[in-house]
């Protein structure tokens, strides 16, 4: 299984244009991006939480990108934050009809795809070393949030 499979499912769900499917599409789009980011960070040697604390990975993975000013990585951070917020609304706020608007959901699925492309570009970026250093610097400043080695 690859993370992009969730993105393809999100695109299929949007075509249904029904409330449950549109809400589910937001979740699949977010998890496509989140899992792509997890795979990227693990490949770059960054640890993640496991077991009962694995839920902390959402903010950890996102926030590691938050201080990176190299390339478009800050955009990636912002997209992850926005998609996570939309996913939470879709899953937990059944009164929120914005997450059932097909144009809104399509736009967020497209944002997820663009953000996944940014994740994948990290590996081929001429600034990859600088990106990794900026993420390591963030880890150093946020040791309490880090998983045990």
| Residue 149 in domain | no
Lowest mean pLDDT among 14-18, 19-23, 127-131, 144-148: 144-148
pLDDT in tens, 37-96: 999 999 999 988 776 666 788 999 999 999 898 878 999 999 999 999 999 999 999 999
| Residue 14 in domain | yes
**Per residue, what are the HEC states of the chain?**
CCCHHHHHHHHHHHHHCCHHHHHHHHHHHHHHHHHHHHHHHHHCCCCCCCHHHHHHHHHHHHHHHHCCCCCCHHHHHHHHHHHHHHHHHHHHCCCCHHHHCHHHHHHHHHHHHHHHHHHHHHCCCCCHHHHHHHHHHHHHHCHHHCCCC
| Residue 37 in domain | yes
| Residue 148 in domain | no
Residue 148's pLDDT is 58
Write out the two tokens for 122.
């990290």
| Residue 133 in domain | yes
Q: Are 109 and 25 in contact (CB under 8 A)?
A: yes
Residue 149 pLDDT > 60, yes or no? Answer: no
Write out the two tokens for 115.
């953000």
Residue 72's pLDDT is 87
Distance CA 120, CA 47 (A): 19
| Host domain of residue 61 | 4-143
pTM: 0.91
Confidence of residue 145 (pLDDT cuts 50, 70, 90): low
pLDDT in tens, 19-42: 999 999 999 999 999 999 999 999
| Residue 138 in domain | yes
| Residue 13 in domain | yes
Number of domains present in the structure of the chain: 1
| Residue 53 in domain | yes
Residue 147's pLDDT is 62
Residue 146 pLDDT > 90, yes or no? Answer: no
């Amino acid at each position: 299984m690859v993370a992009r499979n969730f993105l393809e499912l999100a695109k299929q769900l949007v075509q249904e244009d029904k409330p449950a499917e549109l809400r589910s599409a937001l979740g699949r789009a977010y998890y496509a991006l989140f899992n792509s980011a997890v795979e990227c960070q693990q490949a770059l040697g960054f640890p993640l939480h496991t077991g009962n604390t694995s839920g902390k990975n959402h903010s950890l993975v996102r926030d590691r990108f938050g201080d990176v000013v190299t390339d478009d990585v800050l955009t990636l951070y912002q997209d992850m934050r926005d998609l996570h917020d939309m996913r939470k609304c879709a899953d937990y706020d059944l009164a929120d009809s914005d997450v059932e608007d097909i144009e809104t959901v399509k736009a967020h699925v497209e944002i997820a795809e663009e953000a996944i492309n940014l994740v994948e570009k990290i590996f081929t970026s001429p600034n990859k070393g600088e990106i990794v250093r900026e993420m390591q610097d963030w880890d150093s400043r946020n040791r309490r949030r880090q998983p045990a080695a």
